[in-house]
Structure 1
């Protein structure tokens, strides 16, 4: 069997003059364009430069923006037989130090170098002895080499990556990904997509996420397609400050044949379509995607409200929702063009088997399962003696094999009335309300649920509260609805504190933050009361004011 990296090498040789990567600039024209011949030459040079510094099998960190340099480093590390540890730039110094601890060297681009120096300043003891090398300088300094330099480590199964995944502590878990596992995953994905689907793929989320490496790099390159990168300096979705609605113009400009969207951008896309009610499907696609036909749109990472996907489907825009986890090399199940059941995450891929435990927990067994964790965390998935990975996700599987994800087992809210509520589906529903940037439901041990709401810029909170109440009454059951709301304007600092880099809420941290907000509001109200009473005293209403102050 040919490894996926070898199929990419074949495309490099056979399509040397075709465009492999386009890095857009800030205008209507492309920025830097890299053809397959140049990509092969630069990956070769980087692989040789690394071979002089690191033995095959050594662990190498990758700290870079979504850039051409990131792509070259990723391919060169795969081809050279190294273990790659990609680290999100949004990580704190503590998180980065934990993930990079086993690395013999770290590769950076310009943005990555700046971030690495900031981490070094915050935690000098953790990074002081860690060599940091510039990807560009390594490529420029290496002599021209042949493709033979890339053959090391591409034939046998091995751990090729350590991918971060969020845990319950500040230290991210490292998921050890197998090369053969990625082969099995990609073979199954190609059963449901064509090479033409991946002729032009738009990158929107960090490359440090494994699903984006699979769908934004390995599938387009194996198809001889073009990977379109946003302009330099534009933050990918999931980074602090990135706003989903701002990516709509990029979608039109990039004209993608395939894209993988997080829930926030599916919502933004549906809202944009609703603002264009008079257009037929072809005209709508031109307005949304810069092309007359619908691209292959996959959605994942968190639940998308079924009503949102249905709104787009009614306009002829199909969104194929899936489900995965890093421990399975990303995708577990996926709706396809042939079999798409809105509200589900599709059927398991061909190489995957799924079953439910007595409490509804989903278990997965497949040829793409990981090789264990580097480090430990209470949230780590358990693999039993029969090879079943217990995901921690509550799910349902219908008679036709379609899987519905209910929520995280550990996130289950038990109310004071003994009712069990999985917050994720209701949160996905509430996110479809215009003005909601994000929402987290709370209510453990309480009679009713409350909601912490991050609002979009300029939103009237009173009007939004009314809209959320009406939405809950129409679309959610009584136990799923929030009865009280705490609003704050969306901001990068709040995102960094309260959400992981993959956009999942840190629920315990959100609960603490909400309590702090409520205490501050209570203190402000008390100060206002005292100020009013003092004013009444000065105005001569002594008995009433004195009585009120005495009662307090």
Structure 2
């Protein structure tokens, strides 16, 4: 077992609760823009709300909660998209010593009922009539549930009116009794297998990674002299989103809210809000890259973009070697090429992100090293972050001036990381959760002598940089006994412009296989760019053959990153994407692997049977040497 000793935490002692930062910022800098929202769904402009205005609204809602009977220790669910009211409501609940229970607004009726019952919620905040209907179908089986408040029906105003008779001093007295180790939120795991479990997270635990990042890295979130600005668009129902929200509120970073997760809405929000720091999951950064490529190809500049992208990666890799002391940095020719593309390509790409982004963070799963180098090369350093619900989010960060792409950096000051003999990552520190609500056995299994067993596998290098290689439960064991971590193969597959999603399979099978979905936008563009001639029937056949060849190239590229025994030998392209709506993705966009395997059991069986029928010879093992291109 290896452990890397780290410097002590540099943050000031944490006292009180999470709501305090709203009040303290309002006292210290009342006119500071704190939150931003669109006036309506069609507006392009943003309405900024100052610190004192946010505090006053938080107080008004808190008074309404008190009048409605919400007391310290009560749990209230927030079931809404990423919007301004979510942030206000959460801080109002913390101001009265209540606990937040986030629920994804697209959660099924059964999921909503389970979380509301398991957490013992006394109230739930929903977004619209659909949310009211979902809760309404299960509320008869929830005896503790007393209130359903609807944001689109003016819940905040109604609560403020109801609480008008409650004195301000009552809110203050409740806010001041909140202790750092009191539970602030019960955040449910994504539920990639089995029922989601509620993780009890303390005020101190949630604040620690935020304050540590602000202390050590906050000055890098914006150009010198500018207020940092972050656009929130990932769900606040996930700890990643909550961590971003709290970092902004606690650090005086302007937080914009974009509830729509569509590509058009995000592009518009980036262009009009103009964040200085960009965060997302790998699929967001992959999609942005593919959009850059597609736009360049439409303008007849595809070859130019690909040369510029290659130069960006080479330049960033050379810079990385320089800062790590393993190389001299970019040579003259590379600097000249990079300077040329800066004028002709890179600044246009940064303009598409709003023109002010200087850095970014990817979390949720591993970011491809080549993609990280690409963004660094165009002037927007995007690092891969690591954390989980049970750790209140952030565990690691890239040390400034010593960033190493392809890793998730080093553990935050005050947090310790070990890698056990079997490769499992163990974490200890103030952000580790209090336990699973109502499940002592699961809590004991996760917390071993003060260390959180993350379920992730990885490795630490000699300098303490952590690389995530997969999840223990995701390891594939073929019928020949070969253990394969699917994450790297899936990551490499997704880097092909035509590939949207990939799931690597192969448990108890003679070889590794893959299920692939296609990016619909890039597929449309690719078809148009083919310009195949001839009759319709012949053209369709040639188009399908060309598509087979492209996917085969994607598979070959992925296979180049692993040994022959670990490589993909069969694959199938599926007709529809994995999505939360079909139960194949979690609300936080993580794969439900077991559900995917069950859903496509017939296709998987046919894929392997087709491959088997196509082989001859007495040796079963030797027959799986070349990749197949089973296509649907």
| Class of the TM-score when normalised by the shorter of the 2 chains | 0.7 to 0.9
Given that 2:426 and 2:452 are in contact with CA atoms closer than 8 Å, whether structure 1 keeps it comes out as yes
Counterpart contact for 1:201–1:220, Cα < 8 Å: yes
- Secondary structure of the residue that 1:142 maps to in structure 2? helix
Q: Does 1:207 align with 2:236?
A: yes
Bigger shift: residues 184-193 or 53-62 = 184-193
Does the 8 Å CA contact 2:482/2:566 hold for their aligned counterparts? Answer: no
SS in 1 for 2:564: coil
The answer to whether the Cα contact below 8 Å between 2:435 and 2:443 also exists between their aligned partners in 1 is no
- Whole-angstrom CA distance in 2 between matches of 1:520 and 1:449: 14
Separation in structure 2 between the aligned mates of residue 173 and residue 271 of structure 1, nearest angstrom: 35
Of 200, 213, 216, which residue of structure 2 is paired with 1:189? 213
1:23 paired residue number:
37
Q: Which residue of 1 aligns with 2:276?
A: 257
Alignment of 1:317-328 (within 5 A): 317-328=380-391
In 2, Cα distance between equivalents of 1:66 and 1:417? 46
Structure 2 CA distance for partners of 1:446 and 1:521, relative to 1, 3 Å: closer
Residue equivalent to 1:343: 406
Cα deviation, residue 429, structure 1: 1.4
Q: For the Cα contact (< 8 Å) 1:426–1:480, is it kept in 2?
A: no
Deviation at 1:519, TM superposition (A): 6.9
Contact preservation (8 Å) 1:177, 1:329? yes
The correspondence of residues 209-288 of structure 1 with structure 2, limited to 5 A, is 209-215=238-244, 217-230=245-258, 234=260, 236=261, 242=262, 247-274=266-293, 275=296, 276=305, 277=308, 278-280=341-343, 283-284=347-348, 286-288=350-352
Checking the alignment, whether the CA contact within 8 Å between 2:229 and 2:275 is kept in structure 1 is: yes
Query: What CA distance in whole angstroms lies between the structure 1 residues aligned with 2:554 and 2:209?
Result: 40
What is the CA–CA distance in structure 2 between the aligned matches of 1:309 and 1:298, rounded to whole Å?
10
Residues 478 and 378 of structure 1: is their aligned pair in 2 closer, same or farther, counting only changes over 3 Å? farther
Is the alpha carbon distance of 1:157 and 1:386 closer, same or farther for their aligned partners in structure 2, counting shifts above 3 Å? same
Once the two structures are TM-superposed, the CA of residue 195 in structure 1 deviates from its matched residue by: 5.3
Give the conservation status (yes or no) of the 8 Å contact 2:415–2:427: yes
Aligned with 1:14 (options 28, 49, 58): 28
The correspondence of residues 42-121 of structure 1 with structure 2, limited to 5 A, is 42-52=57-67, 53-101=69-117, 102-111=119-128, 113-121=129-137
- Per-residue CA distance 1:316-335 (angstroms, 9 max, x = gap): 32111111011111111122
Tell me, yes or no, if structure 1 residue 478 matches structure 2 residue 507: no
Runs of 4+ in 1 over 6 A off after TM superposition: 377-381, 519-523
Aligned to 2:553: 467
Counterpart contact for 1:168–1:379, Cα < 8 Å: no
2:395 corresponds to: 332
Please tell me whether residue 498 in structure 1 is matched to residue 514 in structure 2. no
Which secondary structure state, in structure 2, belongs to the residue aligned with residue 390 of structure 1? strand
Cα RMSD (Å) of the superposition?
2.9
* Cα distance, 1:26 vs structure 2: 4.8
With over 3 angstroms needed to count, the CA separation of the structure-2 counterparts of 1:282 and 1:512, relative to structure 1, is closer
CA deviation string 1:505-526 (max 9, x = no partner): 1111111122233579999xxx
Please give the TM-score of this superposition, normalised by the length of structure 2. Answer: 0.74
In structure 2, relative to structure 1, the CA distance for the partners of 1:146 and 1:288 (3 Å cut) is: same
2: distance between equivalents of 1:194 and 1:62? Answer: 28
Kept in 1, the 8 Å contact 2:192–2:590? The answer is: no
Match of 1:507 among 589, 593, 607: 593
Given that 2:75 and 2:99 are in contact with CA atoms closer than 8 Å, whether structure 1 keeps it comes out as yes
TM-score, length basis structure 1: 0.84
Distance in structure 1 (CA, Å) of the matches to 2:575 and 2:498: 10
State how far apart, in whole Å, the 2-side matches of 1:436 and 1:374 are: 39
Structure 1 residue corresponding to 2:159, chosen from 138, 158, 161: 138
Mapped partners of 1:381, 1:94: distance in 2: 27
The answer to whether structure 1 residue 451 and structure 2 residue 514 are counterparts is yes
The whole-number CA distance in structure 1 between the counterparts of 2:265 and 2:478 is: 38
Question: Which whole-Å deviations, capped at 9, do the CAs of 1:328-349 have from their partners, x for residues lacking one?
Answer: 1111112243331111111000
Aligned 8 A contact 1:457 1:489 in 2: no
What SS does structure 2 have at the residue aligned with 1:498? coil
Query: In structure 2, how many angstroms separate the alpha carbons of the residues matched to 1:338 and 1:126?
Result: 55
Going from structure 1 to structure 2, the CA distance change for 1:491 and 1:439 (only over 3 Å counts) comes to closer
For 1:94 and 1:360, how far apart are their aligned partners in 2?
A: 35
Change (3 A) 1:168 1:259: closer
Q: 1:375 to 1:502 in 2, by over 3 A?
A: farther
Query: Does 2:190 match 1:126?
Result: no
User: Distance in 2 between the 1:153 and 1:285 partners?
Assistant: 49
Aligned pair 1:316/2:379, yes or no? yes
**Whole-angstrom distance in 1 between the partners of 2:468 and 2:444:** 17
Deviation by residue 1:43-82 (Cα, 9 ceiling, x = unmatched) = 1011111123122111111122222221111011111111
Alpha-carbon shift at residue 149 of structure 1 (Å): 1.6
Q: 1:420 to 1:519 in 2, by over 3 A?
A: closer
Alignment of 1:521-540 (within 5 A): none
SS at match of 1:406: strand
Tell me if the contact between 1:167 and 1:379 (Cα under 8 Å) persists in the aligned partners. Answer: no
Alpha carbons 1:56, 1:153 under 8 Å: kept: no
Query: 1:418 Cα deviation (Å)?
Result: 1.6
Q: CA deviation at 1:298?
A: 0.8
CA contact (8 A) 1:406 1:425 kept: yes
| Residue 109 of structure 1, CA deviation | 4.5
Structure 1 unaligned regions, length at least 5: 237-241, 524-552
Q: Which runs of 5+ in 2 are unaligned?
A: 1-12, 222-226, 297-304, 309-340, 524-543, 610-632
Residues 99-156 of structure 1 deviation map (CA, whole Å, 9 limit, x = unaligned)? 1113342232433x522412433x4643577221343221343328547624244344
Measure, in 1, the Cα distance between the counterparts of 2:382 and 2:594: 32
Deviation of the 1:379 alpha carbon:
7.8
Deviates more, 1:89-98 or 1:179-188: 179-188
Contact 1:354 1:362 (8 Å CA) reproduced: yes
Give the length in aligned residue pairs: 511
Higher relative contact order (CA 8 A, sep 6+): 2
